[in-house]
Amino acid sequence: MSVIWHDIECGAYAADMALWRQLADRCGDPVLDVGAGTGRITLDLARRGHRVTALDRDPVLLAELERRAAGLEVQTTVADAREFELGERFPLIIVPMQTIQLLGGERGRLEFLGRAKHHLAPDGLLAVAISELLELYGEEQDNSIPVPDIRELEGVVYSSQPTAVREDDDGFVLERMREVITPAGERTVEHDLIRLDRVSAETLEDEAQLAGLSTAGRKLIPPTADHVGSVVVMLGG
């Protein structure tokens, strides 16, 4: 079930794809995709002729990525982004879709940045996408709630409805209601919460310098009708 929800909630996002393609073409192979999931970016780059290593801590998502990557130059590694050791260096490491904001605050980011520095080739590039601000909505807000993400598979309807984005002391909590309706009309509902750490591009650049990385500019990815915009912080070895 995690594969279905990941695809429904993340798989259709494409606003950042042109940037990852551009960076891969410029920096060369191999590319390390951190938080690869079911392969939204890994598979796109591999189909364009790049050699990609996909890293994620969820073995179920990576198993599906491997199945989809048959015949492509893709390697998968199940590991936590704060602790991985691959025995290889990469001219490009990418961290899309706010993955770094899932690592448990400053300590987790510093642990990841240290691992990335260790795995970055000389003159390599680390590109990290973050969302500095999220538009709040929910019961206490006047903003309208987004439409649900819906998919039908073999007669089963899956609906993922965003219900709220709230602030807490150190970040944001994203709330969704996931609903499944079978062909027989049976309905199940579960609530899903994701917490994103609060971090700015400036703070991330300061932390990167502590890990021995250098700043190399920023790129903006504008918001879409369905997704927030992001800042991609570029860091050098």
Q: For 6-17, what is each residue's pLDDT tens digit?
A: 999 998 899 999
Round to whole Å and give the CA distance between 73 and 110: 30
137 within a domain of the structure (yes/no): no
51 within a domain of the structure (yes/no): yes
Q: State in Å, rounded, how far the first CA of the chain is from the last one.
A: 38
Residues 108 and 213 in one domain: yes
Residues 171 and 203 in one domain: no
Q: Residue 119 belongs to what domain range?
A: 2-132+199-236
Q: For 19-64, what is each residue's pLDDT tens digit?
A: 999 999 999 999 999 999 999 999 999 999 999 999 999 999 999 9
Round the average pLDDT of the chain to a whole number and report it: 94
Query: Could you tell me the pTM of the whole model?
Result: 0.94
Residues 210 and 189 in one domain: no
**Letter string b/e over residues 207-228, b meaning 16 or more CB atoms within 10 A of that residue's CB:** bbeebebebeeeeebeeeeebb
Residues 75 and 180 in one domain: no
How many domains, in total, are found in the chain? 2
144 within a domain of the structure (yes/no): no
